[in-house]
Amino acid sequence: GESVGLHLPTLSVQEGDNSIINCAYSNSASDYFIWYKQESGKGPQFIIDIRSNMDKRQGQRVTVLLNKTVKHLSLQIAATQPGDSAVYFCAESIGGATNKLIFGTGTLLAVQP
Amino acid sequence: NAGVMQNPRHLVRRRGQEARLRCSPMKGHSHVYWYRQLPEEGLKFMVYLQKENIIDESGMPKERFSAEFPKEGPSILRIQQVVRGDSAAYFCASSPPIRGAQGYNEQFFGPGTRLTVL
């Protein structure tokens, strides 16, 4: 069935280092991918998205890479800060009439000062 | 512009009672989505609604759960005869109308309602 999963449940990094969070997806029909950040007790917050016709997209301090050949998605955070500590989810969608998101299980990013 | 609002933020019910969760979408948004999140898990899609219509309820349990998004007022997720397994965080998201057959619009999430069933 459809699924989105993450390789690393917990990632611990030093402040100032770069972070890489990985995600695998299995639905080849998915054409839209999103990374969300969720802090404790809050709802998911949009970080960055990418469509299937792209393989890289950059935002402020974040980059998303998409490898459709191996169905892999990654989020890179440059110069990680303590405020980046949260759970990060990747999500996929096939868009169109059914706009539902399929979420992965999440990776906890812990930034050490 | 206020974000997605959900209330109550915390809800405690005893087994067998009813739970009503409310969601007010962002201004100008006519699409609402409900997701459920169990502890240390990702969000699971439940239902997708537009005003007065259910578009996709493939993630809704067949019994005890229902959702509506009336012409006026918030969207309501209703859980009848709650059981302990219903304890979870329920998130609502909203988006503007989707453009095109292959279009996608960002979903903005509310803060969630944490339901505890005793």
Mapping DSSP to helix (H, G, I), strand (E, B) and coil, where does residue B22 land? strand
pLDDT digits (tens, 9 = 90+) for B42-74: 899 999 999 889 999 999 999 999 999 999 999
Contact B34, B25 (CB under 8 A): no
Q: Are A50 and A68 in contact (CB under 8 A)?
A: no
The answer to whether the bond into B8 is cis (omega within 30° of 0) is: yes
Report the share of chain A in percent with pLDDT over 90. Answer: 69
Helix H or strand E segment including B115: strand B113-117
A37 vs chain B: nearest CA distance in angstroms?
Answer: 11
Sign of the Cα pseudo-torsion (B36, B42, B46, B52, in order): positive
The residue of chain B nearest to residue A6, with distances taken between CA atoms, is: B42
Could you tell me which chain B residue has the CA closest to the CA of A29?
A: B102
E strand residue ranges, A6-51: 10-14, 19-25, 32-38, 45-51
Question: Chain A interface residues facing chain B, Cβ-Cβ under 8 Å?
Answer: 4, 31-32, 34, 36, 41-46, 49, 51, 89, 91, 93, 95-106
Looking at residue B43, its pLDDT comes to 93
The answer to whether residue B101 scores a pLDDT higher than 60 is no
pLDDT digits (tens, 9 = 90+) for A52-105: 889 999 999 999 999 999 999 999 999 999 999 999 999 998 866 677 899 988
How close are the terminal C-alpha atoms of chain B, in Å?
A: 37
Q: What residues pair up with A78 in beta bridges, in sequence order?
A: none
Q: To the nearest whole angstrom, how far is the Cα of B27 from the nearest Cα of chain A?
A: 18
Give the closest residue to A84 by CA, choosing from A50, A113, A105, A43.
A113
Report chain B residues whose CB lies below 8 A from the CB of A32: 104
Q: Which residue has the tokens 């030093």?
A: A14
